[in-house]
Structure formats: structure tokens, C-alpha cells
Amino acid sequence: MGSSQSLGVPSGTGPFKVGCTDVMADHTRQGSFFRLYYPTEAEQLKPVSWIPQYQYFVGLADYLDKSKMWFPPLLSLAFGHYSVPVGWNASFRAVEKYPVIIFSHGLGAFRTVYSSICLEMASQGFLVAAVEHRDESAACTYYFKPQMEEHSADAHSDLEEVWLPVRKLNAGEEEFPLRNNQLSQRVEECGRVLNILSEINSGTSIKNTLESLHLSDLKGCIDLQKVAVMGHSFGGSTSILALAKDKRFRCAVALDTWMLPLAEDIYSEVIGPIFCINSDKFQTKESLAKQERLKSKNNDLKIITIADSVHQSQTDFTLLTGDLLSRAFETRGRIDPLKGLEITNRAAMAFLQRHLDLQKDFDKWNALVEGNDTHLVSEPRHS
């Protein structure tokens, strides 16, 4: 694969076309909110905006400590025209049972920032639920509350949006207690999304506050024996803790994990297989030592590092920023962005085949799991 010629979220390379919908089960802050990617047989696909609402640009400005007056319009100008090549609310391909990936986003991100990974996995035959966390780690997110006035006549006449901003560290505040607390909520939210998928699979009617495809179409097609948890950065530590706390998750794929939020006592509790796919720049010697400690009870720990990649190389931003923006926000390393994501996806799929007992051909990428590739280095170079 050569250099990325044009900016954009690429189509999946797997055998399936991909449908996509948003699910908000229970409109309150305590409810679940996630984007679901799934195989579709629809011929005509209807792409969806990469950034779902302008408010997310405001949230990103807030997270980046930029002016909420002038920065959101700039972000909108830079990213507002991008779409994700999926079939929005396209019909579900109800032909077989699909393994499941619950995906957890990083700090300051939200449910759509990893569309390229989620879309690729769905094109290869996974159901992928990208959680939008409500622990105040998302750049922003929203839920609904009942309206006081009764003059509105649209579909959500009795509900109004409430936006939840990112929670900043206060001056002098210790970071660990806040993040560890958020981590617990994140794990709970991942488990709750899995509960909802279980209910959908059994035919229980789920009330979705948002318009979507008929979730009842998924009945009997979700393979709840083959469930993995995956995430980037804060989502990486979320996936590790979720694996320790919820036995329904059979393995975890942790992308450039932020290790800080994990408490000391957790290292001895993790017994499932973990795959850490690191960038070349983010991990410190201390965080790598913590990753190695996950091996204490766990012979199925794999750690690889993608050469010349940066922390944002596993997000869509690496594909959507040109030279100027990528320099300003360090969204690109020296590796071609498409190549970096291809390695991440292929390595993850080979690992998932191994630990979810998939009848696929992903084992052709086993060498990546073992760290054997010219684009992999033995450890991050912190350069």
C-alpha cells in the first residue's frame, strides 16, 4: 500500500458492506449510548457525517483548551465535510451469527472518532458497538431530559438534549483518583452495552430514543459466546479492566493504552488474553513495565509496537488531517496513516481469531501478533 493520496475514512476491505446506526437505550444519563456497525446486504449505501453534531466541535475546543468562540468553526471547516462510507440505518444482514467487539474511546474522543477501525472490523464480519462514555471523559456527549414546556410537536416533543462536557482536572487535583473512578464507570458502561445486545439477541424489545434500523432484526444473530473488548488510550485501560471484571469478555485488544488509570491490585486479577498494540511515541518505560506485569497470570499477553507511529495513529484523525494540521496536533507519525491502521486492524483480527475461535482466515496475519514485520519494532523509541 502506497502513501495515502486523499484524505478520508476508507471503505472496509472485508467481504461485507457495512451498515451503521446509533442506539440510545434509556434517554437518561444512566442509559447507554453507542454506535453500532454491522454487516448489511443493502445495495445503496447512505454515508453518514463523521462528526454527528456541531456541538462535538465545541467539545473538542473545550478539551483542547481552545477558544469556544473561534476554534469550533475552524474545526468544522477542517472536518465538517467528512463522511463515513457506511449504510446509515441500512438493513441488517440476518444470515449468520456474528462475533462482537465492544469498543471504548480515548479521553477527549467520542463514539465516531474510531470509525475506520470499527468499519473495517464490521466489514470482516464483526458486530462492533462503539460506546460513547458518560463518565465525563468524552470531549462531550449528550442525553435527554423531559421538557417542562409542552408546546413542541416533534418526535422527541417531551425530551430535550442535555450536553455533558469533558471534566477537566482542577488545579492541584490528583489525576489518579479521578481517572480510576471514571474507569470503573467506563467498564460498567461496556458491560451495559453487552447487556443490551444480549436482550436484542433474545428478542426483547429495546426502546431506542434515536431513530435507527429495527433492532429486532438482530435477534438470534449475535454470538454472545464470542465477545471481545477493544479500546484506545483510556479505552485501552478500560478494555483491560473490563476483561478482569466481566467474564463475558474473552479477550482484550488494548491500543496504545494509557496505563495510569489502572489500580495496583488489578494486575493480579487479569487472567484473560490481552494484546497491546502500541505506538512508537506514547508509552514510557514505566507504562511498558506495567503492561509486562499483566503477564503475571497471563501467558497470552502480546505486546507489539508500530514503528514511526504516534498516539493518534489509531484514530481517524490520522487519516483526516493534512500536513499542516498533522504537524500542529501530532496526528501523524512517519508511517503512512493507512499502513499504520492496516497493521493495527490485521494484527487485532489475527489475535481475535485465536481467542474467539473464529472460522476465518485472519491467521494469515499471525506474524504481526508475534511482532514479526518490518513495520514493527521491539519497543517504543520515545523519540
Q: What is the spatial distance between Cα 203 and Cα 200, in angstroms, rounded to a whole number?
A: 5
Residues 311, 313, 316, 326: which is the catalytic one?
A: 311
**Rounded to an integer, what is the distance from CA 112 to the centroid of its chain?**
8
**Exposure of 76 by Cβ count < 10 A (0-12 exposed, 13-18 middle, 19+ buried)?**
middle
Catalytic site includes residue 233: yes
Q: What is the spatial distance between Cα 17 and Cα 230, in angstroms, rounded to a whole number?
A: 22
The kind and range of the H/E element at 78 are helix 71-79
Q: Which three cell numbers stand for residue 186?
A: 467506563
Residues 104, 115, 123, 233: which is the catalytic one?
A: 233
Handedness of CA 93, 87, 196, 63 (dihedral sign): positive
Q: What is the spatial distance between Cα 144 and Cα 27, in angstroms, rounded to a whole number?
A: 5
Residue at grid coordinates 462514555: 133
**Could you tell me which of 265, 272, 277 has the C-alpha nearest to residue 248?**
272
CB neighbour list of residue 246: distance below 8 Å, 6 or more residues apart: 187, 190, 191, 194, 229
Q: What angle do helix axes 337-356 and 115-123 make, rounded to 10 degrees? A: 50
Q: Which three cell numbers stand for residue 334?
A: 512517519
Strand partners, 100: 127, 227
As a residue count, the chain comes to 383
Residue at grid coordinates 477527549: 108
Q: What is the spatial distance between Cα 131 and Cα 134, in angstroms, rounded to a whole number?
A: 9
Q: Which three cell numbers stand for residue 291?
A: 503492561
Q: What is the spatial distance between Cα 351 and Cα 356, in angstroms, rounded to a whole number?
A: 9
Burial per residue of 117-149, b for 16 or more beta-carbon CB atoms within 10 angstroms, e otherwise: bbbbbbbbbbbbbbbbbbbbbbbbbbbbeeeee
Residues 22, 62, 135, 256: which is the catalytic one?
A: 256
For strand 87-88 and strand 17-25, is the pairing parallel, antiparallel, or unpaired? parallel
CA angle 39/316/130 to nearest 5° reads: 45
Q: What is the spatial distance between Cα 59 and Cα 217, in angstroms, rounded to a whole number?
A: 34
Catalytic residue numbers?
233, 256, 311
